[in-house]
Amino acid sequence: MDPHHRSNLKIALNEPDKPFSTVVPCNRTAQPRSNYDRDYIGLDIGGTLTKVVYTMGSAVFLEKFATESIEEVLSFLEQLICRKELNFAHVVTTGGGSQKFNKSLSKLFTEKHGIPVLKKDEMESLILGLDFFIRDVDKEVFVMDHVTEKIRFLDKVSVKYPYMLVNIGSGVSILRVDGPGGQYKRVGGSSLGGGTLWGLLSLITNCGSYESMLQLSEQGDNRNVDMLVGDIYGTDYNSIGLKSSTIASSFGKVFKKEKNDTLRNNRDQVDQADIAKSLIYAISNNIGQISYLHANINNVTNIYFGGSYISAHKFIIKTLSYAINFWSKGDMKAHFLKHDGYIGAIGSFLTTAEHESASDNRSDADTISQKLDLTNLSETKPEFDYVESLSDDSSNA
């Protein structure tokens, strides 16, 4: 195969017509092929979601599943590897589930189909994926002006260290990254992350998915349940820089001791959409503040947010951007990605190329640039106003 055959690779994110909707017979052949004729697959198995990145023909596909439905994931993977036109040399897994489900993965890939399973450290996968997005992919990384709510995509630039990666999945991990190849340190984190939001909203609301929770929050008004500075002082608190619209107490208005009112009656009167918006504010503001604190302690000004919690959602991005700007007085910049939930999966996916480059005595850069050209990503953009690009100098503003 011509090494430039994949020069037009595109990512198809959650295609509506999945090519493996029905069980197919296993037609894998054992015919040896050149590494340039190989397909690639990477898995990031988190506590809540499993992300899959794989090649098929000239396209790269991204898929996600609920980790609790691991059997569905395994079924999908088996249908994938059994297609006779695909040729996987090995699979790379990362995330906590790569250890938890190691036996199931080895049984499926190695014992049943002769495909080795390689494990990649979760944090190293995140950094590898993020560095690749920053360095090699145009219009992937962006910043938001929390006032105008417009975003600006950054041109691809050389990675500037140190930076801070805040990965928001079920929980939160905060990394200071000083360079490639394992030059990082986990400096903090929080148990209050995406899993907290999903868990509480599933108890409080009638939503059955994270997407429906986000949609519900867009209809809500947190001022109906949150106690604001203006509710306490009647106006701005100018001497300490707090506007009247600043949240003083999340859910501070919900519990009211009024005559002839029971707590149950009060709870029934609270709109679910207001609850959803208030809780997203509470979780996001908390993450934003601790991210700033760790960045300040570690003398880092560029903060990158990743993880499926964000999901390119305007409201969450705005809240995190505002928090970083507010606490740092504009000295720090919050960065986001279009494919924020797939950073670790992309990192494990790229590890496949690194593994083959080593066996081929080729450099990683040659293998990735010639065979795994992911620079032409899908045209999917967050659904809000944006400016096409920023200059390289502005990327670290």
Instruction: Give the pTM.
Output: 0.81
Query: What number of CA atoms fall less than 13 Å from residue 302's CA on the CB side?
Result: 17
How many other CB atoms sit within 10 Å of the CB of residue 51?
26
Of the chain, the percentage scoring pLDDT greater than 70 comes to 75
pLDDT at 374 over 90: no
pLDDT of residue 33: 42
Highest mean pLDDT among 37-41, 255-259, 334-338: 334-338
pLDDT at 280 over 90: yes
| DSSP designation for 262 | -
pLDDT at 356 over 70: no
Q: How far apart are CA 182 and CA 174, in angstroms?
A: 15
pLDDT at 21 over 70: no
Domains 41-126+342-371 and 138-225+270-337 alike in fold: yes
* CA distances (Å), origin 1, targets 5, 90, 173, 370: 7, 19, 41, 12
pLDDT at 187 over 80: yes
pLDDT of residue 208: 83
Average pLDDT over residues 346-352: 83
Q: CA angle, corner 308, sides to 303 and 309, nearest 5?
A: 75
- For residue 278, give the nearest of 351, 221, 239, 218 by alpha carbon: 221
Average pLDDT over residues 170-182: 92
Packing angle between helix 343-359 and helix 364-371, nearest 10 degrees? 110
Tens-digit pLDDT profile for residues 82-130? 876 677 878 899 998 888 999 999 998 899 988 899 988 999 999 999 9
Average pLDDT over residues 280-300: 96
160 confidence band (pLDDT: 50, 70, 90): very high
pLDDT of residue 226: 92
- Least confident window among 220-224, 263-267, 314-318, 334-338: 263-267
Q: Where are the domains of the chain?
A: 41-126+342-371, 138-225+270-337
Task: For strands 141-145 and 117-119, give the pairing.
Answer: unpaired
pLDDT at 27 over 70: no
pLDDT of residue 41: 87
pLDDT at 387 over 60: no
- Least confident window among 233-242, 250-259, 330-339: 250-259
Three-class secondary structure of residue 146 per DSSP = coil
Q: What are phi and psi of 71, to 5 degrees?
A: -65, -35
Tens-digit pLDDT profile for residues 31-41? 444 445 677 88
For 41-126+342-371, the fitting CATH number among 3.30.365.10, 2.60.120.510, 3.30.420.40, 3.20.20.70 is: 3.30.420.40
pLDDT at 341 over 50: yes
- Least confident window among 34-48, 223-237, 243-257: 34-48
270 confidence band (pLDDT: 50, 70, 90): confident
Task: Provide CATH code, domain 138-225+270-337.
Answer: 3.30.420.40
Q: How far apart are CA 145 and CA 148, in angstroms?
A: 6
Q: How far apart are CA 181 and CA 383, in angstroms?
A: 35
